[in-house]
Every structure is written in C-alpha cells, then in structure tokens.
C-alpha cells in the first residue's frame, strides 16, 4: 500500500465549493478498487490549507490502474477547477512506525488483563478435561497448557507479546494443532465450553466485548480445525494475530 498526500491552499471564499466538489468526487473515488481509503482534512491553524490523504493499493495501481479507468474521468471532472491550488502531490510509503493511542482500551485491558485470561483458561480446561467429546484430545496436555493459552489470548487481544517471546509464537501454536484432525462437533464444543467459562469467571458481558471475543474464537477455531486436518499445509511462520473491537468499539456513556 502507498499513501498519497495532496496539499491544497484554497482561498476562503472558495472553501464551500471546494468541499462540495470533493464530496461529489468522493462518489467515484469510493468505487475505485485501487483505493483503500481517503480523507480530506482542513487546517485549523491556517484555514486556507487542506490535505487530502488517499491510501492506494500500490503506486502503480494509482497511476496506471486508477488514472487509466473511466472512474478517474468522473473524479477529475469534479476537482479539475482546483488543480492550480495544489502545493504538493506525492506518494509516501509506510516506515513501520505506526500504532494506536490509548483513547480506546485494548480488548486485553477491557477483559481485565493477564489475570482475567488465566482465570478463564483455568476454568475452561477444568471443564475440557471432563468432556467426553474433546477431553481425550487433551489427555496428555502439558500442565502449563492453560497458562500458555492464556498468554496466547492475551497477546492476540492486545496484551504483552509473551507468547511470542517465551513460547515460540505462531509457529509453535500451529505445530500443536497439526495432525490432530479436529472435527466440527469438537470445534463447536471447544467454543461452547470457552464461552461457558467466560460467563463463569465473569469476563465482561457487554455486547461489544463479547462480539469481538466470539469473532476471534470463530476465526481461530476454524483455522485450528482446517490446519489440523491430515495433509493440511498451512503457513508455517506468521506473527501472532492482533484482534480489535471491529465495527463496535466499547460503549461508554
């Protein structure tokens, strides 16, 4: 992906027309498969200045794919009167320095931190071991298993990267599922027991947290099932996934 910045200096008497032209130009832009996202911002310190940021799938997709498409003609027709107001129009690449601030807590913090995930997996595996359908899969599990899975979940939900640092990260977790031939009824039971445990240890029960939590479990268990099938050839190295709130951040009145 590549980020394009277009800096404009537009006299104040043309602001309203400029912003409505971009409002119209956004319609074709929003249909372009090369466009990931866009945003027009107005400077509060120097009101004549605007910055348009567009994230493109690649520089080539922008300059060849988008500009060569009929959609570009519709876009250009709206913003052509403002081309002379452009001060800078360049592509920038990501440096790897990026992240989120603390305005929205992580799922890890919302759940109650490391201790909450440890309580959860303690309770969960106590039930798992007594379960007729999935208990046998865990009959010889490492006594540290509940703690290791708590570390994994904590890292996934935005906590410290301890599973990666201390337990071998994704590759190790993957290796534990390979060849296990997990069935769909077993996957369902795994999730069902984990959700029962979440209620039992009183993880937050708000709709936003539970929706994100279940979203990860659905994704993760389906991957565990397919990776565990005989002959599966999953990706062997990858970072531990990071799960966020998705479309519904925590509700705070």
For ligand HEM, the binding residue among 50, 190, 243, 245 (CB under 6 A) is 190
Distance, CA of 111 to CA of 105 (rounded, Å): 10
Stretch that binds ligand HEM, among 1-9, 114-122, 184-192, 233-241 (CB under 6 A): 184-192
CB of 9 to ligand HEM, least distance (A): 51
29 binds ligand HEM (CB under 6 A): no
Does 173 interact with ligand HEM (rule: CB under 6 A)?
yes
Strands (E), the chain: 2-9, 35-42, 49-56, 86-92
Interaction of residue 196 with ligand HEM, rule CB under 6 A: no
CB 227 within 8 A of CB 177: yes
| Per-residue DSSP letter, 129 | H
Which residue of 37, 39, 142, 206 would you call a contact of ligand HEM, by CB under 6 A?
142
137 binds ligand HEM (CB under 6 A): yes
Q: Give the C-alpha separation, 129 to 11, whole Å.
A: 71
Say how many C-beta atoms besides its own lie within 10 A of residue 123's C-beta.
19
Which CB sits closer to ligand HEM, 21 or 112?
A: 112
Contact between residue 22 and residue 40 where contact means Cβ atoms under 8 Å apart:
yes
CA 147, 161, 226, 207 torsion: positive or negative? positive
Q: For the segment 205-244, give every residue that binds ligand HEM (CB under 6 A).
A: 217, 220-221, 224
Nearer to ligand HEM, 25 or 134 (CB): 134
Q: Edge-to-edge strands of the sheet including 2-9? A: 35-42, 49-56, 2-9, 86-92
Report the residue from 53, 127, 180, 210 that binds ligand HEM according to the rule CB under 6 A. 180
Contact residues for ligand HEM, defined by CB under 6 A? 134, 137-138, 140-142, 145, 148-149, 152, 167, 172-173, 176-177, 180, 182, 186-187, 190, 217, 220-221, 224
């Amino acid at each position: 992906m590549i980020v394009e910045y277009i800096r404009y200096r537009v006299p104040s008497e043309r602001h309203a027309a400029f912003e409505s032209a971009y409002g119209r130009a956004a319609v074709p832009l929003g249909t372009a498969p090369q466009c990931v996202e866009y945003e027009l911002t107005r400077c509060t310190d120097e009101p004549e200045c605007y910055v348009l940021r567009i994230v493109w799938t690649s520089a080539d997709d922008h300059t060849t794919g988008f500009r060569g498409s009929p959609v570009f003609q519709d876009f250009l027709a709206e913003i052509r009167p403002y081309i002379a107001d452009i001060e800078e129009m360049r592509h920038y690449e990501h440096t790897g320095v990026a992240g989120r601030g603390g305005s929205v807590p992580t799922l890890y913090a919302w759940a109650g931190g490391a201790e909450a995930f440890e309580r959860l997996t303690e309770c969960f595996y106590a039930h798992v071991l007594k379960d007729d359908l999935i208990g046998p899969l865990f009959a010889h599990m490492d006594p540290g298993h509940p703690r290791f899975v708590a570390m994994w979940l904590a890292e996934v939900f935005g906590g410290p990267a301890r599973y990666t640092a201390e337990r071998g990260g994704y590759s190790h977790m993957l290796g534990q599922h390979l060849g296990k031939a997990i069935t769909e009824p077993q996957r369902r039971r795994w999730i069902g027991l984990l959700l029962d445990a979440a209620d039992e240890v009183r993880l937050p029960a708000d709709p936003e947290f539970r929706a994100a939590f279940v979203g990860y479990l659905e994704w993760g268990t389906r991957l565990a099932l397919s990776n565990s099938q005989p002959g599966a050839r999953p990706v062997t190295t990858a970072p531990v996934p990071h799960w966020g709130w998705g479309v519904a951040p925590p509700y705070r009145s």
